[in-house]
Chain A
Amino acid sequence: MAEPGKAPVLQAAGLRKEFGELIAVDDVSFDLPSGRSLAIVGESGSGKTTIARMIVGLERPTSGTITACGHDRSQPAHSTRDRRQRGREVQIVFQDPYTSLDPRQNAEATIDEVLKLHHGWPADRRRARTAELIDLVGLDTRQSRALPRSLSGGQRQRIAIARALAAQPDILILDESVAALDVSIQAQVLNLLADIRDQTHVSYILISHDLAVVRQLTDEAIVLHRGKVVERGPTAQVLDDPQHPYTQRLRASVPRPGWKPRRRGQPGTGEENGVP
């Protein structure tokens, strides 16, 4: 893995994605320094998930470039070898732990498969590494041998994180990965993610609409609105002193003690017609 403080581990430059008439992502650029965490903040239709999908290769950018670990990934991989190389550079954890695991595979088999595919290690080495990863994400032996259906959402999300880490990625994309979890479980998983970053120097891209989660986990943030970056900076600064009207509105919409929700000027127009 790259050492912290070196050149950006991930760079996006002039990213654009069109779906027919719709411009989902419009001239988005950012750098992710190695070992750091970047938040991509936005609401539905902001383009944040499309950016994640372009980075992992599930969507092809209309224009612009994505460079991870010094390799361009703006174009589809041409060989299995190339595809696996990309898998070792970037992994993703999705929002819904209920649909992102194979219902017929327990955690041990899930992780073992990734280790075999990416590293080609012999069985005993894979077994040792599987045990390490299971331990790292705080699951016990019984849970690691249970099928997903008998596990809670938080436990499943831990498996999804362990599976992503098994490829030893330099970059982990967390696409609303804690949004569906109960508060008490969300706190456990956020602490876990902080521990993993300290121990492995993996870099995070956190895709989230939840500003408190963003504050807890990231150093830098970009705010997306309708596919465009409207604000960027250190996370603390963006949240404490937002400059763009949209960021200000987002910040003001978060319920807190003493908060009173306010209606905007003329509802039913403008924002409501946003992209689904």
Chain B
Amino acid sequence: MSDPAAVAALGSPGAAASAPLLEVAGLSVLLEINGAKRPVLRDVSLTVRPGEAVGLVGESGSGKSMTARAIDRLLPRRAEVTGSIRFGGEDVNQLTGAGLRRYRNKVAMIFQDPRAHTNPVRRIGDFMTEALQANLAVSAPEARRRAVDMLAQVGIDDGAKRLGQYPHQMSGGMLQRVMIAAALLTKPRLLLADEPTTALDVTTQAEVMAILDGLRREFGLAMLFITHDLDLAAAICDRTAVMYAGQIVEIRASALLHDDPLHPYTAALAAARPDIEQTAHRLRAIPGRPLSAFEAPSQECAFAPRCPYATDICRAEVPALARLDSGVSRCARAHELRGQLGGAPGG
């Protein structure tokens, strides 16, 4: 499996049916940290088709946010990027100036902390209509009219009044809905949602997810949904990619991920989480701690030091992302372990 594009298309049922909207192939990123070049992403390949929701799940340092940043061209200036990112066939890494602005209108990003991504001294209306007026030459009254309409779509009925308010006058849940409305205003084709509900209360999360999911379907938007919550990704996304130490270790139909994982890390992640339905005698914790790409072994399986199934073949070389059943897995023993990894209840 040497062609990264071919691997990237794996795990997508009916991949032939439609050309991918986003195609990331063999993406590696090095960042300068304390004077040394360090890998943060290693050989990341994935695709998102038009209208499809793909989850990107992982723990701290796994590279999930960095992947989104690379896709939106938000990496630090001196980042060293290899591999390709194509959006609608266009090479994203070559875009500059007006081309890059056009691209960002098509690819909208929603962040975890809406307060950190709004200017506290600017009104919501200015924030929401800026891109429309500056990039799409929409008149100010028309931009405000569209903003009020979109606020209504996310469940904010007094939109005209809200446009005159400042971020601090809104709760976190309402501000995140404003962010979603703002992101949708430029009629994007792809949403990059980076932990958009992590900072919210559970009941507010359910509300915001319902809005996001509903509008996404209504507008036929594709979404790359980044989260640490396997169950949330499984509920929202068609397919889910699991990342560990800067690599994708598994891509699988979300419905199968929890009970029938292909990679030992996915299985371990699902088993470590306490179950709301029952108390486990002991949780099945993963020994050690999650490693960043630059800390993990680079010449063998990155998960091997924490993996209960690791043997000598896991330490011989970096396993390739290979097709297995309807998904892909980066595990040297994936075939052998088939059917043994998932589904067992805690305790």
Q: Give the B-binding residues of A (Cβ under 8 A).
A: 43-44, 152-155, 182-188, 190-191, 194, 209, 211-213, 215-216, 236, 239-240, 249-264, 266-268, 271-274, 276
Contacts and interface: CB of A to CB of B under 8 A. Distances in A.
Given A255-B235, A268-B157, A182 B60 contact: yes
B81 interface: no
Given A215-B275, A273-B171, A194 B206 contact: no
A6 B284 CA distance: 33
Contact of A254 (B158, B202, B272, B284): B202
Interface stretch (B120-128, B207-215, B325-333): B207-215
Nearest to A209: B202
B8 to A, nearest CB: 26
Given A43-B202, A249-B203, A271-B203, A212 B274 contact: yes
A211 B278 CA distance: 11
Nearest to A184: B286
Contacts of A155: 289
Nearest to B255: A257
Give me the 8 closest cross-chain CB pairs, A-B, nearest first: A267-B155, A187-B285, A253-B206, A261-B210, A216-B274, A43-B201, A184-B286, A187-B272
A262 B156 CA distance: 16
Interface size class of B (residues with CB under 8 A): 35 or more
A112 B285 CA distance: 29
16 contacts: A182-B60, A183-B273, A212-B273, A212-B275, A212-B276, A215-B278, A216-B280, A240-B277, A250-B203, A255-B234, A260-B210, A261-B206, A268-B155, A268-B157, A272-B171, A272-B174
Nearest to B205: A253
A268 B174 contact: yes
A249 B207 CA distance: 11
Given A187-B284, A188-B285, A191-B285, A262 B210 contact: yes
Q: Which DSSP category, helix, strand, loop or mixed, fits chain A's interface? A: helix
Given A43-B203, A44-B201, A215-B274, A255 B231 contact: yes
A251 B156 CA distance: 25
A256 B231 CA distance: 5
A190 to B, nearest CB: 6
Contact of A183 (B201, B209, B269): B269
B31 to A, nearest CB: 20
A253 B276 contact: no
Interface in B24-69: 59-60
B252 to A, nearest CB: 13
Nearest to B259: A257
A187 B286 contact: yes
B246 to A, nearest CB: 15
Contacts of B337: none
Contacts of B235: 255-261
B274 to A, nearest CB: 4
Given A255-B235, A268-B174, A273-B171, A215 B155 contact: no
Interface string B242-266: 0000000000000100110000000
A21 B232 CA distance: 38
Contacts of B274: 187, 190, 212-213, 215-216
Contacts of B209: 255, 261
B283 A257 contact: no
